[in-house]
Amino acid sequence: MRSICSLIIATRIVTSPASLYCQAVPKVLSMITPDYPEGINEGGFVICEVFLLSDGKIGIATAIKGDSRFQGAAERALSSWLFEPSRGNPLRRVLVSFAFYPTTFSGLRNKVVAELIGDRGLPIRIGPRLVSPLAKSVGTAAAIVCEVHDVRLKVDIVGLGYGLVLPCPAFERAKDNLFPHSNRYVMGGCVVQPENAAEVLYCPKCRQAAARWLKAHPMQE
């Protein structure tokens, strides 16, 4: 997202970037999510050091940081993971981070989010996409028809990001008047949550109008 007026401060945008895999971070071919330990009602995190064999299987997986109550579950889950085979590297080391979230969202008691930590410390979300439903992502009663283009709104799933974003007055004015239902992404606040995608209602003509406006006003979003 190009931006001068928008500034992400002191946190990260959470995405689902399968395209961000690089040679330093081998691709996960199969995985299971750790079980949430019984009797624990709060969240926590664990970082595991994993050594991979040449065929992509786990050699050793050891928790090196984080809440001791979750470490056993993380190590047990990792033991069955499979990564892509190596090409000439007999032994590879990767770091895997697990965030344990207590929640009743989507009918689940708890959620666990897994990330690979790349060689530059960039976390890469892996596993299933976690989608925030329409009621949560919008927060208010949603319109059915676009008041600008008189087009019935459609459902889409877009990226859900977290961070502190400074508004751009010119873009906000244009959005309110020209493309109020473009809804190309959703900001979820400063506190990072498990969900990394959101369900929204959008107007196709609003998105076209937003694209035209951004092309005419580069670096203004």
* 70 to 45, 51, 61, 92, 193: CA distances (angstroms): 7, 20, 14, 24, 18
71/6 Cα distance (integer angstroms): 38
pLDDT at 64: 96
Is residue 182 within 8 A of residue 203, CB to CB? The reply is yes
Per-residue pLDDT tens over the stretch 16-64 = 333 333 346 788 999 998 998 888 888 888 999 999 999 999 999 999 9
24/92 Cα distance (integer angstroms): 9
Per-residue pLDDT tens over the stretch 2-15 = 333 332 222 233 33
pLDDT at 18: 34
> What one-character-per-residue DSSP string does the chain give?
---SS---BSS------GGG--TTSPPEEE--PPPPPTT--S-EEEEEEEEE-TTSBEEEEEEEEE-HHHHHHHHHHHTT-EEPPPSS-S-EEEEEEEEEEE--GGG-SEEEEEEEE-TTS-EEEESS--EE-HHHHH-SPPPSB-TTT--B-EEEEEEEE-SB----HHHHHHHHHH-TT---EEE--SS--S--EEEEEE-HHHHHHHHHHHHHSTT--
User: Which has more confidence, 199 or 52?
Assistant: 52
111 and 208 part of one domain? no
- Residue found under tokens 């064999």: 53
Mean per-residue pLDDT for 127-135? 71
Please identify, among 100, 126, 152, the residue that sits at the C-terminal boundary of a domain: 126
pLDDT at 104: 55
Domain count, the chain: 2
110/107 Cα distance (integer angstroms): 9
Per-residue pLDDT band for 120 (boundaries 50, 70, 90) equals low
Q: Which string of b and e fits 50-68 if b means at least 16 CB within 10 Å?
A: bebeeebebeebebeebbe
97 and 71 part of one domain? yes
User: Which has more confidence, 56 or 121?
Assistant: 56
pLDDT at 220: 59
Asked if residue 168 belongs to a domain, the reply is yes
> With the C-alpha atoms ordered 105, 110, 116, 117, is the resulting torsion angle positive or negative?
positive
122 and 139 part of one domain? no
97 and 164 part of one domain? no
Q: How many CB atoms within 10 Å of residue 28?
A: 19
Per-residue pLDDT tens over the stretch 136-191 = 545 445 678 999 999 999 888 888 877 777 778 999 999 999 999 999 988 887 77
pLDDT at 25: 78
30 and 121 part of one domain? yes
pLDDT at 117: 85
Please identify, among 126, 159, 189, the residue that sits at the C-terminal boundary of a domain: 126
47 and 144 part of one domain? no
Asked if residue 90 belongs to a domain, the reply is yes
145 and 187 part of one domain? yes
Please identify, among 68, 100, 126, the residue that sits at the C-terminal boundary of a domain: 126
Asked if residue 95 belongs to a domain, the reply is yes
Per-residue pLDDT tens over the stretch 61-109 = 999 999 999 999 999 999 999 999 987 777 889 999 998 887 655 555 6
Asked if residue 9 belongs to a domain, the reply is no
55 and 113 part of one domain? yes
Whether residue 214 is predicted with pLDDT greater than 70 in this model: the reply is yes
Asked if residue 10 belongs to a domain, the reply is no
Asked if residue 2 belongs to a domain, the reply is no
CATH number reported for the structural domain that contains residue 41 in this entry: 3.30.2420.10
137 and 150 part of one domain? yes
138 is in which domain, residue-wise?
131-216
